Amino acid sequence: MGISSDLDEVDSAILQLLKQNSRMSFQEMSRQTGISDATIQFRLKRMRARGVIDKFTVMVNPAAAGYSVAAIILVKTDADKHDEAKVALSKLSQISEIYSVLGEFDLFLKVWAKSLEELGAMINDDIKSVVGVEDLLEIVIVERVKEETPPI
């Protein structure tokens, strides 16, 4: 039984509002939902304690921060050096997401760069040089159609 099975309509309403604006005041959440401030505070504290809310953070606009190029890179790794490759890749700051996947490739990376030239240099100088990386498939993202946190 997962964590989400413990969420009721009140928890879901609070989480939906926080997804839209994590800085929303308890008073504003109360006004929009009809749920008292005290209940909202209690529910948030409980969801944090249970691990439903991992952290409160900022969502940066990549283009405004100078990162106008995003790419998905699929990586084949040497089976004996897979874990070593994951650790090394996770240290590269331009890689925002790394997933182990099933299929023809072993890892799925989301990478950010300020230009195509920077992306090319990162692939050739940083990613391909990681011990355990055997092959890559690079896919440059031309449009972000939808990018959200997981559903509530």
Which range of residues forms the domain containing residue 14? 8-49
pTM of structure = 0.81
The DSSP symbol for 126 reads: I
pLDDT, tens only, 98-149? 999 999 999 999 999 999 999 999 999 999 999 999 999 999 999 999 988 7
pLDDT, tens only, 96-108? 999 999 999 999 9
7 contacts: CB under 8 Å, gap ≥ 6: 15, 47, 52, 152
Same domain assignment for residues 95 and 43: no
Residue 56 lies inside a defined structural domain of this protein? no
Same domain assignment for residues 91 and 121: yes
Nearest Cα neighbor of 118 from 94, 141, 88 is: 94
Same domain assignment for residues 74 and 27: no
pLDDT over threshold 60, residue 85: yes
What string of DSSP letters covers 21-47?
-TT--HHHHHHHH---HHHHHHHHHHH
pLDDT at 5: 58
Same domain assignment for residues 78 and 137: yes
Nearest Cα neighbor of 127 from 83, 100, 93 is: 93
Residue 59 lies inside a defined structural domain of this protein? no
Same domain assignment for residues 85 and 123: yes
How many domains, in total, are found in the chain? 2
d(CA 73, CA 81): 18
